[in-house]
Amino acid sequence: MSVARLKSVPPPEAGDGPFYVAAAKIYPREIGGRFTRLRRAAVVVLLGLFYGVAWLEWDAHQAVLFDLPARKFHLFALTLWPQDFLYLALLLILAALSLFFFTALAGRLWCGYACPQTVWTELFVWIEQWTEGTRSRRMKLDRGPWTAEKVLRKSLKQVLWVALAAWTGFTFVGYFTPIRSLGGDLAHLSLGPWSSFWIVLYGLATYGNAGFLREQVCKYMCPYARFQSAMFDKDTLVISYDPARGEPRGPRRRGTPARAAGLGDCIDCTLCVQVCPTGIDIRKGLQYECIACGACIDACDDVMDKMASPRGLIRYTTEHAVQGEATHLVRPRMLVYGALLAAGSVALVYSLFTRVPLILDVIRDRNSLYREVRGDRIENAYSLKVINLDDRPHSYSLVASGMRGLELAAPLAPITVPAGSVSNIPARLDVAAPQAGGVHSISLTLTALDAPGIRVRETSRFVGPAP
């Protein structure tokens, strides 16, 4: 992908709506300050977790591994199976509820600090700043001719970007295929076709999203950016410019009190616009492009310090606070989101702690309704599917109940299933003919011999001759 295409080109058909690739390139200015430090910390922690956790081991297996080839999910001591899909669904619901809760509380925290798009873009921009220099140097470099220095700087950036993207793709696939064996395959250039395919796909996605598209993902592709306003109210923390204090804006000398010059505190230095990763002017009010990263706050605080004016011309605040009214932390929206979140969390923790690592499926034999055996007894046949979800083998006893005189004809020996395996067992039940007439509801109970807590009960039907 050529860098030249990234350059700021006037849209060929101006007025025809926003153009995707042809949209003016944004050169975010480098910035320091409270919120920038916070975001940097978030980048280091989140990406550190992403790149690092894949290499953790736990009990001779990878600590976090969604082992698709084996259809097992390892989460430290916990091993989940596709049958445990409920937990994944519950976890996703909780994630959505947390997003609602924190959005209502503090606006787009997710966008500014935790979204992979923000986090990886930050990393790619660091590389860009390291190889191509500050904002003004980058703009000059892009405008200038293709000198040896430009070629060198741009090539270095591309090499680092591609390497980072490839490492990201590799790590990502390492959460689905054991990363150590994947690394060995990579070192011996013997990667399987599908592993290679996924590494390249996710590498390309990382490069494209964090290096090439950046803020355009937030502006044009992100559904959350469009509907997050539904969770906002007048008490939600947003980044806002204080027009009452700032206007009328205009340049003034350091030390000149703003009011004496007939001006507001804003000196119209446009630094808040230059640092914005999405290229908006926060002074025009809250816009859906704002990802609430706080870069403009850091920039403006710096300027206010230099002008000896109080900080906070641009600040985290609420619509109520800007209007001079009280901000309410506790409000119905927060209570509803909070209650749902708490209930979901309790349900998840409870169900994980009471999870029985055993599944029994009972399927009635469809070939015959019943069969007469030993002259005076009626027999039904079943097919049992016993899934041992535990990390060690178990032997189970099977007990049938629900009808007077119901007896288990097979299996008579305990059922032994290896760790993490499925056994299909034929079973037969019989009952004396006089008791067998009609359709009966019965139940089968499977209990681990070495752990009575591991017990499941399944219901089925017993069919006899019509009475």
Partner 1 sequence: MATSASPEPARRIRAIDFALVLWPSFLAACAASVLFFAAVDPAMLRDAGPHLFAGLDREAGYALGFLFFWGVGALASTVSIYLIRTERGGGRADPPGAA
Interface residues toward partner 1, by CB under 8 A:
13, 16, 18-22, 68-69, 71, 82, 85, 88, 192, 194-195, 197-198, 213, 216, 220-221, 223
d(CA 178, CA 55): 9
CB of 401 to partner 1, least distance (A): 30
Nearest to 241 by CA among 272, 200, 201: 272
Measured from the CB atom, is 22 or 53 closer to partner 1? 22
CB of 220 to partner 1, least distance (A): 6
Measured from the CB atom, is 213 or 429 closer to partner 1? 213
Measured from the CB atom, is 68 or 261 closer to partner 1? 68
Residue 437, phi then psi, degrees to nearest 5: -55, 135
Beta-carbon count within 10 A of 160 CB: 16
**AA identity, residue 33:** G
Nearest to 174 by CA among 205, 202, 210, 193: 202
- Asked if residues 280 and 290 have their Cβ atoms less than 8 Å apart, the reply is yes
255 DSSP 8-state letter: T
**AA identity, residue 359:** I
CB of 201 to partner 1, least distance (A): 9
Collect all residues with Cβ–Cβ distance below 8 Å to 285 and sequence separation of at least 6: 240, 241
Measured from the CB atom, is 115 or 213 closer to partner 1? 213
Token pair, residue 54, equals 């894949």
Measured from the CB atom, is 355 or 428 closer to partner 1? 355
Nearest to 286 by CA among 162, 107, 133: 107
CB of 223 to partner 1, least distance (A): 8
CB of 455 to partner 1, least distance (A): 25
Containing 334, the helix (H) or strand (E) segment is helix 332-353
Measured from the CB atom, is 51 or 66 closer to partner 1? 66
Measured from the CB atom, is 86 or 230 closer to partner 1? 86
Output the CA–CA distances (angstroms, integers) from residue 390 to 254, 356, 451, in the order listed: 71, 9, 11
Measured from the CB atom, is 49 or 89 closer to partner 1? 89
CB of 69 to partner 1, least distance (A): 5
CB of 117 to partner 1, least distance (A): 12
Count of residues in the chain: 467
Residue 461, phi then psi, degrees to nearest 5: -125, 150
Measured from the CB atom, is 19 or 50 closer to partner 1? 19
d(CA 256, CA 258): 6
Beta-carbon count within 10 A of 138 CB: 20
CB of 145 to partner 1, least distance (A): 27
Nearest to 456 by CA among 428, 429, 430, 417: 417
Long-range contacts of 349-352 (CB under 8 A, 24+ apart): 351/86, 351/87, 351/90, 352/78, 352/87
CB of 107 to partner 1, least distance (A): 23
CB of 82 to partner 1, least distance (A): 5
Nearest to 287 by CA among 350, 215, 203: 215
Beta pairing partners, 264: none
d(CA 26, CA 236): 28
CB of 68 to partner 1, least distance (A): 6
Q: Is 279 left (phi over 0), alpha (psi -120 to 50) or beta?
A: left
